[in-house]
Copies of this chain bind each other. A is one copy, B any other.
Amino acid sequence: MEPPPPSTDIPPPSPPEPAPRRRPGGRSARVRALVHRAVREQLVAEGYDGLTVDAVATRSGVHRTTVYRRWRDVGGLLADVLDAAADDGWAPPDTGSLEGDLAALNEEVAAGLTEDPPIAMALIAASFRSPEAAEALRRFWDDRYRRCAPVMERAAARGELPGAATDDRALLIAATAPVYHRLALLRAPADPALPATAARTAALAATAGAFTLPG
């Protein structure tokens, strides 16, 4: 006999939730915003080596006991900052063409990697030190890749992609990786033409079927 299918319309037999302690916009959200800002500022000012729970507590004005209880350690702080960064209603650009959308996306990537203060670069650098930050950075990028699905849907509807299904993620990585490579790994000066040429390359390859899924 099969187990009954899981029901989703019966509330779980747990006691009612206590009154929410973390209302959006409430004290808890304000504390979180203060702490996140302190993490970013501390990371840019002192690097990962200067990022300690105590330094974040001091800079944020939040009691250190609160910071320790809620974020535990530097990994917890970095992961929460990155998770919050994903919580922003971001949507991919809609320019009317696949190449245009990818170029606009690359302009955003390049702007992020060259912004001053260099928060994105500091978070990438921290991800080489903290496994929790690395994991959170991967979650952040995965979320961004998922939110880019409309770029490929619109391209398919316009006939810019072959009929078969496209590997969205492979296409997005091909389009954006040269910008990350140049700025985050080679640390070469920004090349104003690169966002557009990397987008053109990826769009060309996509139209030619380079990212068509097997099957």
A200 to chain B, nearest CB (A): 6
Asked if residues B178 and A174 are in contact (CB atoms below 8 Å), the reply is yes
Cβ contacts under 8 Å, A204 to chain B: 204-205, 208, 210
User: Which residue of chain B has the shortest Cβ distance to A167 in the bound complex?
Assistant: B197
Asked if residues A201 and B211 are in contact (CB atoms below 8 Å), the reply is yes
Instruction: Write out, one digit per residue, whether chain A residues 117-149 have a CB within 8 A of any chain B CB (1) or not (0).
Output: 000000011011100001001100100000000
- Secondary structure at the A interface, as helix, strand, loop or mixed, is helix
A170 proximal to B (CB < 8 A) = yes
Quick one: which of A125, A141, A204 has the most chain B CB within 10 A? A204
State whether A198 and B180 are in contact (beta carbons under 8 Å apart), knowing that A138-B186, A205-B205 are contacts in the complex.
no
A187 proximal to B (CB < 8 A) = yes
Asked if residues B141 and A186 are in contact (CB atoms below 8 Å), the reply is yes
Asked if residues B182 and A198 are in contact (CB atoms below 8 Å), the reply is no
Instruction: Write out, one digit per residue, whether chain A residues 194-209 have a CB within 8 A of any chain B CB (1) or not (0).
Output: 1001101110110010
A1 proximal to B (CB < 8 A) = no
Cβ contacts under 8 Å, A125 to chain B: 128-129
State whether A170 and B185 are in contact (beta carbons under 8 Å apart), knowing that A205-B205, A208-B204 are contacts in the complex.
no
Quick one: which of A185, A186, A188 has the most chain B CB within 10 A? A185
Q: A201 touches which one: B181, B188, B200, B210 (CB < 8 A)?
A: B210
User: Which residue of chain B has the shortest Cβ distance to A145 in the bound complex?
Assistant: B186
Asked if residues B187 and A138 are in contact (CB atoms below 8 Å), the reply is yes
User: Can you list 21 A-B pairs, Cβ within 8 angstroms, ordered by A?
Assistant: A124-B128, A124-B185, A125-B128, A127-B187, A128-B128, A137-B185, A138-B186, A141-B186, A170-B194, A170-B197, A174-B174, A174-B201, A176-B181, A177-B178, A177-B180, A177-B181, A180-B181, A200-B205, A200-B210, A201-B211, A204-B204
A125-B129, A138-B187, A174-B201 given; 8 more Cβ-contact pairs under 8 Å = A124-B185, A128-B128, A137-B185, A138-B186, A173-B182, A177-B177, A177-B178, A180-B185
